[in-house]
Structure 1
Amino acid sequence: MRFQLQSNFVLILSFVIFSTATIAPPDKSKKAAKPAKEVKVNKGPVDRNVFDRNLVVDEPDSQSIIKECGTYYKNTSARLFDGLTLGFVTPWNNHGYDIAKTFGAKFDIISPVWLQVEHKGKHKYEISGTHDVDAKWIQDVRRTGPPGKKVLPRVMFERFSETDYSHVLMYESARDEIADLLVKVCKDPRHKFDGIVLEVWFQLAGRVQDKHLLRLVEHLAKVLQVNGLETVLVVPPIRDQMDFFSRKHFEALYPLISAFSLVTYDYSNIERPGANSPVKWIRQTVEHICPDTLQNFREKRQKLLIGMNMYGMDYTLSGGGPITGRQFLDLLKLYKGSLNHAEEDEENYFEFKKPSKHMVFYPTLYSINKRIELARELNTGLALWEMGQGLDYFYDLF
């Protein structure tokens, strides 16, 4: 998350400033300060969406966010974005399960983060994480629509050594075994998944030769496709000119992959504080993978899903880290005033110094809407990571 930070904050992150003060007895002649009036927090369905309530502004007021973020338009089936939309749900943010049902009509694909391919010994693999599968919830999600709604669990490779990866990349028999396991778990009559979201390219890109990684993804996707199952592939964004996923990869996999979920977030980090997902960078990533010189580029971009973070970052003197909506609201209560607008990146942030120094980036209605507008312009879809981390009124925008 690189960002052109104000020089004063860069200095703050670089140097710890110590201050001293003399502790004196209280002055009894002064009246005690009145406690700050607590903001009334609204929750649940309301009669108008966030646009009609004039909440989508470039510098939202902190008190307005706290007051309104728990509300949402009562017609939760009203859909504003027509492109392919995927939402991730994780077991560690249970609110995402409720969001997937409440706003299910706005999403074409729901991807619960449940499954892992594990190496269990020589020529032996296993699908773990099935204990997290909730068949009743899957039924409820499918009932919310839209027509053709799909549930594709995310699948990662875990507990694989470099030798284990090499074996899978080199031997067709190993790829066959893993593909058969994926088909079996998808076709389990207890839940009947529609396919998988495969997160392996993101793990191995730059570590192995392209031809081996392409062969692995092609093999798994072909077997799934033959069995009537879909594959969504998680792919890395353009990063410091490193070509981890480009036009040649996209064109090779396009016939086999239903959609490509772009990880267009985590642009900055605690070493380089700033915006989480600058719009210019998102545009560069899409145009790098599917340039407008490519035949039928607008049609092909429909398979590209711009990654949208529903979490934020809190930068502090000790480094800081990611924050969810609840943590964002706790920090926002310590700040009075409007959020700053980083015009070039189209993100909002705020700073405060007491009781300790913080610089906080977190999505707002405005920043999310700007990315939805970009998706419309580029003719791409969207992928939300992840639904349990956001604020309820965000979903009015989709």
Structure 2
Amino acid sequence: MATARRRDRRATADSDAGRRSGKPAQTYPTRAMAFSICRLPFIFFFSFSLVVVPLALYFTLYHPRSSSSVLSVYERGLVKPNVAFHEILDEHSRVSENRTRRHFESPVLAYVTPWNSRGYEMAKLFSSKLTHVSPVWYDLKSKGKDLVLEGSHNADAGWVSDLHKNGHSLVLPRVVLEAFPAEFFTKKKQWRKAIDIIVKECEEMGYDGIVLESWSRWAAYGVLNDSDLRLMALKFIKHLGEALHSVTSTTNASHHLELIYVIPAPHSQNLGEYDFGPQDLQELRNAVDGFSLMTYDFSSPQNPGPNAPLKWIQSSLQLLLGDAKDGAHMIFLGINFYGNDFILSEGLGGGAITGGDYISLLEKHKPLIRWEEKSEEHFFIYTSNNHRHAVFYPSLMSISSRLNEARAWGAALSIWEIGQGLDYFFDLL
């Protein structure tokens, strides 16, 4: 990403300024001559004002400083299906100077990861647009018969304090529950231990709650098809939510600690036995403050394609909420700020790319960027080392269409993750 350089403004003295014109011809001038000489400074000043003042006014009104002339991406006409690579290269680092204006009024949860440290600075810079920030720091693991919270070395207390000073964003670090589920569910002593560990960490570090991720791991262990174990899993989440809600936030005495729960999006038109469904949502809705819906990673190197087709997002919401859209305000609809570079020829391959990777590809290949109507995503094709690649990376238009979808449902927003995006994406929020 290009870094803006500070330009030094240096005033250059006019070597002719204040220079006198020479001695008068007479030592004792007449009154008329003296009067004319006295008028000269006034005439010069008046003439100077007639020229300079209008010019100064013109440049002030019509040529403001570059820092204040940057409009939002909407005002610059950049949110559109037909976009050229050079437009992205020219505009992606230019962000509206009005960073406090919100275009998306519902809550916005932004994830930040240690492996993309740029996200830490983006969270502070655009804190007025982010209601919740979730640094990906913790794992709660089984260690013998005990539980251990790992990841404290990632925690940055100074950064958390800076976000709280900005006064806009709640800080809810993500905790992945990796304890062995079969043993964990059957021993309530482990429940209490896990809850105590989480609440204590929130109190000591001044967090506003946590984002809990566990459903995908429970599905991988094959326990969610067992009705009893599934019920125990839901009960644990409810107990954790109740415990957090009973604790007052150290940064805001009028709020309790919050719990946002991560849920995967179904990959088919019908819910599978491992999918988080509407009954699970209804069971937990009074115990949690929101659900972070992972509506991304639709495609993979084994099945190249768009990152999150809009119709898939719509069907995921439909399966969870139904036509009544009951509980939509609790859904933090997932938006990806990363993309994928898939290898299309001679086998399978490729993987995720960040904004910096994307910009490098545009600079190198100068591709034709296409708008795919069905998925409502931009992509391009390029060839490297005789291999054809397809690159799907979010654009202003693709993100905007998903924000409109969230608005239509009355849903909130979650972003994975802001360190991987382009600067001007934040103008949309």
Distance, in Å, in 1 between the alignment partners of 2:167 and 2:90 is 30
C-alpha offsets along residues 309-339 of structure 1, whole Å, 9 cap, x if unaligned?
A: 1110101134111111111111122333541
For residue 70 of structure 1, give the secondary structure of its aligned residue in structure 2.
Answer: coil
Distance, in Å, in 2 between the alignment partners of 1:354 and 1:173 is 56
2:243 aligned with 1:229: no
2:353 aligned with 1:323: yes
Q: Which structure has the larger Rg over C-alpha atoms?
A: 2
Contact 1:43 1:68 in 2 (8 A): no
1:375 is aligned to 406
1:259 is aligned to 290
1:19 is aligned to none
Contact 2:367 2:380 in 1 (8 A): no
2:318 aligned with 1:287: yes
Which structure 2 residues correspond to residues 351-390 of structure 1 after superposition, within 5 A? 351-355=381-385, 356-390=387-421
Which structure 2 residues correspond to residues 1-398 of structure 1 after superposition, within 5 A? 43=4, 47-122=70-145, 124-146=146-168, 149-158=169-178, 160=179, 164-188=180-204, 191-205=205-219, 207-208=222-223, 209=226, 210-227=230-247, 228-240=256-268, 241-243=270-272, 244-293=275-324, 297=326, 300-316=327-343, 317=345, 318-355=348-385, 356-398=387-429
Contact 1:59 1:348 in 2 (8 A): no
- Residue 354 of structure 1 deviates from its aligned partner by 4.1
For residue 314 of structure 1, give the secondary structure of its aligned residue in structure 2.
Answer: strand
Contact 2:70 2:94 in 1 (8 A): no
- Residue 168 of structure 1 deviates from its aligned partner by 0.9
- Residue 165 of structure 1 deviates from its aligned partner by 1.9
Q: Which runs of 4+ in 1 moved over 6 A?
A: none
- Residue 393 of structure 1 deviates from its aligned partner by 0.5
- Residue 371 of structure 1 deviates from its aligned partner by 0.5
Distance, in Å, in 1 between the alignment partners of 2:113 and 2:3 is 26
Question: Higher mean Cα deviation, 239-248 or 111-120?
Answer: 239-248
Distance, in Å, in 1 between the alignment partners of 2:380 and 2:276 is 34
Over the aligned positions, Cα root-mean-square deviation in angstroms equals 1.8
Contact 1:42 1:71 in 2 (8 A): no
C-alpha offsets along residues 29-54 of structure 1, whole Å, 9 cap, x if unaligned?
A: xxxxxxxxxxx968596520111111
Contact 1:151 1:194 in 2 (8 A): yes
- Residue 93 of structure 1 deviates from its aligned partner by 0.3
For residue 334 of structure 1, give the secondary structure of its aligned residue in structure 2.
Answer: helix
Contact 1:86 1:382 in 2 (8 A): yes
Structure 1 residues 343, 166: closer, same or farther in 2, change over 3 A?
same
Distance, in Å, in 2 between the alignment partners of 1:183 and 1:41 is 42
1:13 is aligned to none
Distance, in Å, in 2 between the alignment partners of 1:86 and 1:351 is 32
Distance, in Å, in 1 between the alignment partners of 2:422 and 2:140 is 32
The TM-score, its normalising length taken from structure 2, stands at 0.77
Percent identity of paired positions between Structure 1 and Structure 2: 35
| Unpaired runs of at least 5, structure 1 | 1-39
Contact 1:231 1:257 in 2 (8 A): yes
For residue 301 of structure 2, give the secondary structure of its aligned residue in structure 1.
Answer: coil
Distance, in Å, in 2 between the alignment partners of 1:41 and 1:238 is 38
Contact 1:152 1:193 in 2 (8 A): yes
Distance, in Å, in 2 between the alignment partners of 1:59 and 1:66 is 15
Distance, in Å, in 2 between the alignment partners of 1:377 and 1:338 is 32
Question: What is the number of residues matched between the two proteins?
Answer: 346
Distance, in Å, in 2 between the alignment partners of 1:346 and 1:326 is 22
Greater relative CO (CA pairs within 8 A, separation 6+): 1
Distance, in Å, in 1 between the alignment partners of 2:372 and 2:4 is 29
Contact 1:169 1:215 in 2 (8 A): no
Distance, in Å, in 2 between the alignment partners of 1:304 and 1:242 is 18
C-alpha offsets along residues 152-187 of structure 1, whole Å, 9 cap, x if unaligned?
A: 0000124x4xxx321111111110010000010000
Distance, in Å, in 1 between the alignment partners of 2:424 and 2:378 is 16
